[in-house]
Amino acid sequence: MKKKEESFESMLARIDEITSRLEDPDTTIDEGIRLFEEGVKLSAECKKKLDEASGKITELKGDLDNLKKSNFKAEQD
């Protein structure tokens, strides 16, 4: 069964939780290492999602530019 993909917002909220725990002086070294590792993985996933969103926006802007050009050309004819 495929694991449900987490949203960007839920991953960011988890990173905030991890940060709070890492700043807590009662957090043990072992727990800190585990949390840090989880945070690094989540950060990489967030970056991947941001890169995908950026690519999609660039693609949509290109589509919009092409549409504007084709409409301008149609008006010229």
3-state secondary structure the chain: CCCCCCCHHHHHHHHHHHHHHHHCCCCCHHHHHHHHHHHHHHHHHHHHHHHHHHHHHHHHHHHHHHHHHHHHHHHHC
* Residue 18 within any structural domain of the chain: yes
* Residue 3 within any structural domain of the chain: no
Q: Please state whether the predicted TM-score (pTM) of the whole model is above 0.95.
A: no
What total of structural domains would you count in the chain?
1
* Residue 15 within any structural domain of the chain: yes
Please tell me the predicted confidence (pLDDT) of residue 74: 63
Please tell me the predicted confidence (pLDDT) of residue 2: 53
* Residue 29 within any structural domain of the chain: yes
Please tell me the predicted confidence (pLDDT) of residue 27: 98
Averaged over successive runs of 10 residues, the pLDDT of the chain (77 residues) comes to 79 98 98 98 97 96 87 66
* Residue 43 within any structural domain of the chain: yes
* Residue 20 within any structural domain of the chain: yes
* Residue 2 within any structural domain of the chain: no
